[in-house]
Amino acid sequence: MFTPKYPPPDTAPAPAVIQPQTTAPAPVQTAPAPVAPAPNRPTVQLTPGSALALAAGGGAVVLVVGAVLVSLLLAVAITGVSVAVVAVVLRLLIKDLNKGR
């Protein structure tokens, strides 16, 4: 049931034999490929003012992303400190309960 089933060896196709050519083939002349027409859309040209605006926009994006990342890091740090303080307080409370005070 789990044994592979192979086809009988006599049904496999015979390998093709390539005969070498004795004469050189005639050169084939092809027509040149047609050239695609240039698109009619305008090209983007950066003036000094637009380049300055682009640089200022990129700088603003970098500042905003940096502020978001720093605020996330600060939130994680504050959460870690508060969890540590809660753990210390709980440990002290449990210690006091076990003493019988």
Half-sphere exposure of 12 toward its Cβ, with a 13 Å CA cutoff?
7
List pLDDT tens digits, range 53-101. 999 999 999 999 999 999 999 999 999 999 999 999 999 999 999 886 5
List pLDDT tens digits, range 19-60. 766 676 666 777 777 777 766 777 778 888 988 999 999 999
pTM of the shown model = 0.46
Q: What is the domain count for the chain?
A: 1
Range of the domain at 101: 75-101
In-domain check, residue 85: yes
In-domain check, residue 83: yes
In-domain check, residue 43: no
Cα 58 to chain center, whole Å?
22
In-domain check, residue 91: yes
